[in-house]
Amino acid sequence: MSVSEQQITEIIDWLARYGCQGEGEGMIRLLYTPEWLAAQNALKERFEQVGMEAEFDSVGNLKATFVGSDPTSGTVASGSHVDTVVNGGKLDGALGIEAAFLAMSDLVKTYGQPRRSMSVVSMAEEEGSRFPYVFWGSKNLFDLEENSRMSDIKDKDGVSFVDAMRSCGFDFNTGHDPLMDGVTNWLELHIEQGNTLEMEGEQVGIVHGIVGQRRYDIHLVGEANHAGTTMMRYRHDVVQAYARIVSQSIEKARAAGDPLVLTFGKVEVKPNVVNVVPGEMTFTMDCRHTDRDFLVSFSAGVAADMRSICDEMGIQIDIDNWMDEDPVPMDDGMISVIQRACRDRGLNYRDMHSGAGHDSQIIAKHIPSGMIFVPSISGISYNPSEATKVEDIKEGIDALEAAIYALAY
């Protein structure tokens, strides 16, 4: 295994040219934009330069393959998504594509043609940063797309999804997407986007599962009234209700312990002025856990607590559970392959779960899948400051390469 730190730095900086907003300004490479198209075309050209067979599917997912000596034995695939969040870093998603390319190229250089084919996949979209739809790339690979829904959505500038897609030369799948046909194993390398590996002093994370997520919009209606003349005991103050809900719920989450996480995020208050008791409010809640039953039970309990608090305070409440994603385990066999590769290479690793969503949660339901994490400095992601030490990236690529070797050679 001879991928160098110089090779890693070079390819990261090279791909970051497509969408970089300037020094310290972050990346913007959104689905079906000129920057996105330029990146996918540049990747295709680079893949072909080393002898890979590269192709797009209908929607813009890109796959490049080193054909094996026994292509009937299947394909080992690895990669991630090429799109970014707005003003994000240059590693999220992109590193998985770069790592797969470096690992497979090095294997062919060192050992020659593999027995099983090896493919790098650069998925069109995962983030949902431009249009309100996530996993467009990976969902298309398994006929899970919702084309009818996409026909009417637009980005913040009023550009329709369909127009943006067709302007890049792509269109809806009209039948089965063949891009992942024959793929028997999937691997994804990704930055952790948290600080566990860094805090524990380990360089490689082997992911056993991706958390389930339940997301809510909660709307409260109380009574707006004069801030000076309405006595405290007569108020129906939605902010007070919100404060009680957050405090009580967070305490329950802390008591439940890891791996549960609970987050109250976006908050909108009306009338949102200094001298009026707030009478209406909308806020969000995000709850995640690796166990489906616990996730459902805990979040249902929090919802019941919210209703109880609002009943006591004379406040109307509407709870919309608009996202309900089950936890997704990685394949036991793939976990064992990565563990063995790390032990054989003497790599410093830990077994862990992913608290963030990834393309692998879509793919794992159809193909035996595994994930590898590398540390994020200070746990920072979705930020221009997103970074990982190059020596840690090299350790992750070593683990990925060793796992691919075990599967393909």
186: part of which helix (H) or strand (E)? strand 183-191
Q: What is residue 25's predicted lDDT score, i.e. its pLDDT?
A: 84
Domain boundaries, the chain: 5-211+327-408, 212-325
N-to-C CA span, the chain: 14
Q: How many CA atoms lie within 13 A of 292 on its CB side?
A: 6
Helices (H), 50-190: 94-111, 136-141, 147-150, 161-167
What's the Cα-to-Cα distance from 239 to each of 216, 225, 285, 302, rounded to whole Å?
A: 18, 13, 15, 17
Domain 5-211+327-408: give its CATH architecture. Answer: 3-Layer(aba) Sandwich (3.40)
Indicate the annotated binding residues for Zn(2+).
81, 92, 127, 190
Handedness of CA 225, 227, 230, 233 (dihedral sign): positive
Q: What is residue 146's predicted lDDT score, i.e. its pLDDT?
A: 84
Q: Which two tokens stand for residue 151?
A: 């026909």
Nearest to 315, CA basis, from 275, 287, 283: 283
- Provide the 8-state DSSP code for 168: T
CA 97 distance to own-chain centroid:
14
Strands (E), 242-367: 261-270, 276-277, 280-289, 316-325, 328-329, 349-354
Cis peptide before 259 (omega within 30 of 0): yes
Query: Which CATH number is 212-325 given?
Result: 3.30.70.360
Q: What is residue 2's predicted lDDT score, i.e. its pLDDT?
A: 85
Indicate the annotated binding residues for allantoate.
215, 275, 288
Q: Strand pairing partners for 286? A: 215, 263
Quote the CA–CA distance of 96 and 36 in Å, as a whole number: 16
Spell out the per-residue pLDDT of the chain, length 409, in tens.
Answer: 689 999 999 999 999 999 999 887 899 999 999 999 999 999 999 999 999 999 999 999 999 999 999 989 999 999 999 999 999 999 999 999 999 999 999 999 999 999 999 999 999 999 999 998 989 999 999 999 889 989 899 999 999 999 999 999 999 998 899 999 999 999 999 999 999 999 999 999 999 999 999 999 999 999 999 999 999 999 999 999 999 999 999 999 999 999 999 999 999 999 999 999 999 999 999 999 999 999 999 999 999 999 999 999 999 999 999 899 899 999 999 999 999 999 999 999 999 999 999 999 999 999 999 999 999 999 999 999 999 999 999 999 999 999 999 999 9
Q: With b meaning 16 or more CB within 10 Å and e meaning fewer, what string describes 343-363?
A: eebebebeebbbbbbbbbbbb
Strands (E), 84-170: 117-123
Q: What is residue 219's predicted lDDT score, i.e. its pLDDT?
A: 98
Is the Cβ–Cβ distance between 360 and 142 less than 8 Å? no
The model's pTM is 0.88
Indicate the annotated binding residues.
81, 92, 127, 190, 215, 275, 288
Q: What is residue 47's predicted lDDT score, i.e. its pLDDT?
A: 98
